[in-house]
Amino acid sequence: MAFRTARNLAYFSNYIRNYSTNGPLVNVTVNEKSGFATATLQRPSVNSLNLELLTEISHTLQQLEKNKCRGLILTSASNKVFSAGLDLFELHKPNADKIKQMWSTLQEVWIKLYGSSYPTVAVVNGHAPAGGCMLALSCEYRVMLNNFIIGLNEAQIGFSAPMWLIDGMRNTIGSRQAEFALTAGTLFKTEEALKIGLVDEVAQSKEEAIEKAEKFLNKFAKIPPHARSMTKAALRGANIQALVRNKDEEVRSYVDFVTDSQFQDSLGEFIELNLKQKLSK
Ligand SMILES: CCCCC/C=C\CCCC/C=C/C(=O)SCCNC(=O)CCNC(=O)[C@H](O)C(C)(C)COP(=O)(O)OP(=O)(O)OC[C@H]1O[C@@H](n2cnc3c(N)ncnc32)[C@H](O)[C@@H]1OP(=O)(O)O
């Protein structure tokens, strides 16, 4: 087992430090005492998920799995936005090959994070709409700071969340609440999200949120890791397998959907109405 000896731990920490120097969009640090890794998303200004950020998240998750990470805290370098979801400017008038890769990498991120063998917590220290909520939902526990929003607002933008993301929402807040939330594309304030179980705890500061996250991760200190991960796989495996089976077909449908002129028109309108930065005409 990694981390059993100080030498292993030091090796892993160095490895991660080296890795993080290669990854400017995701900073990874390891607490040498607890062995917990913190992955901080740092793509200015709102961690919108473009191909480069998604690729780096995917590589990070792969390395953490390979190095038998003891627990992951996923958070943001911004104190306003956890992640604004998919980069809407990259979805507008896109290059089909690039968005094909983007969607496929998003699926990989979900598979690796939702299915990780190690425990995961999202410290949601800013707004988390759509893909931001997806990242938080794929963790096992969510601690959110006050006065932000979280939810799957895809319906408001003009599309449906994919099946695996609907599954993630349903598994977290139950079918009835998921139906209400998804059909209206609701974005919940922190306190509302706590009430429906979309987040597990509220914190007043990032430090407090990290403490709560570590407390959650420490709950597993005495549980054999293989028993924990087998149980997690039993609970989440069917949803992951459903995506794995349908992966290529979903990428094709997604590319067709996003390149369609009707979607492009409604995306253009959404950007003009909702985002400060406008489209160049
Ligand atoms: C099988 C076929 C399936 C087909 C289904 C198709 C697709 C399903 C996709 C499902 C999965 C995920 C979907 C998504 O993630 S879609 C993205 C949705 N995101 C949003 O709706 C968020 C929009 N942004 C906001 O609401 C706000 O910006 C905020 C995140 C709440 C932050 O607010 P605030 O602090 O006031 O910041 P600003 O609004 O001033 O924004 C700062 C700068 O960031 C730019 N920005 C914001 N969001 C995005 C984004 N998503 N992409 C790119 N850029 C973004 C904004 O323009 C500002 O830019 P500036 O600094 O240059 O002015």
Task: Write the ipTM.
Answer: 0.94
pLDDT for 11 equals 42
Model confidence, pTM? 0.92
Whole-number Å distance between alpha carbons of 276 and 150: 19
Does the beta carbon of 45 lie inside 6 Å of ligand 1?
yes
Does the beta carbon of 253 lie inside 6 Å of ligand 1?
yes
The closest alpha carbon to 110, from 224, 226, 251, belongs to 251
pLDDT for 158 equals 81
Which of the following is catalytic: 41, 64, 86, 152?
A: 86
Which of the following is catalytic: 153, 165, 182, 185?
A: 153
Residue 129 bridge partners (DSSP) = 151
Work out the angle at residue 156's Cα, subtended by the Cα atoms of residues 170 and 242, and round it to the nearest 5 degrees.
Answer: 35
Does the beta carbon of 54 lie inside 6 Å of ligand 1?
no
Centre of ligand 1 to C-alpha 69, Å, is: 31
130: left (phi over 0), alpha (psi -120 to 50) or beta: left
pLDDT for 280 equals 67
Whole-number Å distance between alpha carbons of 121 and 112: 14
Per the annotation, the verdict on 153 as an active-site residue is: yes
Per the annotation, the verdict on 154 as an active-site residue is: yes
Centre of ligand 1 to C-alpha 130, Å, is: 8
Residues 6 or more apart in contact with residue 248 via CB below 8 angstroms: none
Element (H, E) at 189: strand 188-189
User: What are the two backbone dihedrals, phi and then psi, of residue 7, each rounded to the nearest 5 degrees?
Assistant: -65, -45
Centre of ligand 1 to C-alpha 87, Å, is: 6
Does the beta carbon of 263 lie inside 6 Å of ligand 1?
no
User: Are 258 and 94 a contacting pair, CB within 8 Å?
Assistant: yes
> Which of 41, 43, 45, 46 to mutate to test ligand 1, by most ligand atoms within 8 A of the CB atom?
46
Atom number of ligand 1 nearest to Cα 131: 15
pLDDT for 14 equals 45
Does the beta carbon of 241 lie inside 6 Å of ligand 1?
no
pLDDT for 238 equals 97
List the chain residues with pLDDT less than 50.
1-22
pLDDT for 281 equals 54
Whole-number Å distance between alpha carbons of 118 and 267: 37
Does the beta carbon of 52 lie inside 6 Å of ligand 1?
no
Work out the angle at residue 114's Cα, subtended by the Cα atoms of residues 104 and 228, and round it to the nearest 5 degrees.
Answer: 145
